[in-house]
């Protein structure tokens, strides 16, 4: 059997921090980078662009689908706005392919380290917090009953 090495949540966060550091705080370059990240998302089947997959609490529409494969949770997402697509793509980079336990227990520090809240403003930062919460809840919903004593840190921005 072939063993695939997955990066940890923290390794992904550190990569994001490094990538944003290269932008030297240039607001325009950072927003362009977020847009570029959003454009890398795989197209989502319109079948999933329904209220059942909609992230609640976002001003923009954000849809998230999850699939559990061999104890790892994989996400697909889309949004109707380019900046929000970039934000959800960052979260997918961190969470997709992780074990459900890693998702539930993850402490997100990259958002503060890159200063994303100041860049995107209060309303989008609030939406980002709801995206994080949704992904963690999806992980929690897949978590086994035997580990139900672990409470998640939703890592709200």
Q: Is residue 21 part of a domain?
A: yes
Residue whose C-alpha is closest to residue 92's, from 47, 46, 139? 139
Q: Is residue 2 part of a domain?
A: no
SS3 76: strand
pLDDT in tens, 49-90: 999 999 999 999 999 999 999 889 999 999 999 999 999 999
Q: What number of other Cβ atoms are within 10 A of residue 88's Cβ?
A: 29
pLDDT in tens, 87-128: 999 999 999 999 999 999 999 999 999 999 888 888 899 999
Q: Is residue 127 part of a domain?
A: yes
Domain of 110 in residue numbering reads as 9-147
Q: Is residue 91 part of a domain?
A: yes
Q: Is residue 63 part of a domain?
A: yes
Angstrom distances, CA of residue 70 to CA of 55, 78, 136: 25, 24, 18
CATH number at residue 127: 3.90.1010.10
SS3 64: strand
Q: Is residue 155 part of a domain?
A: no
Q: Which residue has the tokens 């319109």?
A: 46
Say what the pLDDT of residue 147 is: 54
Q: Is residue 157 part of a domain?
A: no
Q: What is the CA radius of gyration of the chain?
A: 15
pTM (predicted TM-score)? 0.87
Task: Tell me how many domains the chain contains.
Answer: 1
Q: Is residue 68 part of a domain?
A: yes
Residue 83 makes CB contacts below 8 A (sequence gap 6+) with 31, 34, 35, 38, 120, 124
């Amino acid at each position: 059997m072939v063993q695939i090495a997955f990066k940890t949540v923290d390794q992904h966060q550190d990569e994001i921090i490094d990538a944003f550091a290269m932008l030297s705080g240039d607001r325009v370059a950072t927003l362009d980078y977020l847009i570029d990240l959003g454009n890398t998302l795989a197209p989502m089947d319109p079948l999933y662009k329904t209220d059942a997959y909609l992230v609640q609490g976002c001003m923009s529409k954000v849809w998230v689908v999850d699939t559990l494969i061999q104890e790892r949770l994989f996400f697909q997402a889309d949004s109707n706005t380019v900046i929000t697509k970039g934000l959800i793509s960052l979260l997918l980079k961190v969470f997709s392919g992780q074990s459900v336990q890693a998702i539930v227990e993850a402490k997100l520090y990259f958002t503060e380290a890159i200063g994303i809240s100041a860049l995107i403003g209060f309303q989008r930062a609030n939406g980002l917090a709801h995206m994080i919460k949704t992904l963690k809840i999806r992980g929690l919903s897949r978590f086994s009953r035997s580990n139900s004593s672990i409470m998640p840190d939703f890592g709200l921005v």
